[in-house]
């Protein structure tokens, strides 16, 4: 059982590395059934996200692209995990993940610098 679990974690870590997102795959396994993680989809309206997820912890204006980003805090068994949902200028979901909006913006800035943008 231990070897199988270790194998799954290694595969997920490898896939996460290929995706270019510095997120912990264990976070997905832990919180995958939370409504915010399970039900929020790309291109969903901001109003629908609010219906499903409730109020966010904070909201910020994005700096690299037009739009906003909402921070949420997932709680499970006494552990807290940040989660962001970003919206484009039309208030449609264009990103989500296990980090804060600020971390997402920093990562995007670093990718843009790395690509010479």
Give the pLDDT band of residue 103 (cuts 50, 70, 90): very high
Using an 8 Å Cβ cutoff, are 56 and 72 in contact? yes
| Whole-number pLDDT of residue 33 | 87
For residue 51, CA distances in Å to 36, 54, 83 come to: 10, 6, 17
| Residue ranges covered by each domain of the chain | 25-114
Contacts of 82 (CB under 8 A, 6+ apart): 71, 72, 73, 74, 98, 99, 100, 103
| Whole-number pLDDT of residue 19 | 44
Q: Thinking of the domain 25-114, which architecture would CATH place it in?
A: 2-Layer Sandwich (3.30)
Place of tokens 């309206």: 45
What are the helix and strand counts (H, E) for the chain? Answer: 5, 4
From CA 107, how far away is CA 93, in angstroms rounded?
A: 18
Tell me the DSSP string of 67-112.
SEEEEEEEEETTEEEEEEEEE-TTSBEEEEESS-HHHHHHHHHHHH
pTM, two decimals, is: 0.75
Give the pLDDT band of residue 117 (cuts 50, 70, 90): low
């Amino acid at each position: 059982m231990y070897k199988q679990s270790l194998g799954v974690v290694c595969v997920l870590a490898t896939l996460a590395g290929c995706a270019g997102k510095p997120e912990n795959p264990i976070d997905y396994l832990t919180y995958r059934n939370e409504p915010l993680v399970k039900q929020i989809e790309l291109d969903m309206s901001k109003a629908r996200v609010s219906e499903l997820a409730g109020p966010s912890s904070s909201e910020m204006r994005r700096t690299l692209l037009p739009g906003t980003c909402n921070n949420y805090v997932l709680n499970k068994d006494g552990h807290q995990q940040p989660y962001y949902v970003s919206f484009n200028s039309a208030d449609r979901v264009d990103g989500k993940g296990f980090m804060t909006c600020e971390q997402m913006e920093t990562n995007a800035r670093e990718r843009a610098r790395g690509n010479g943008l």
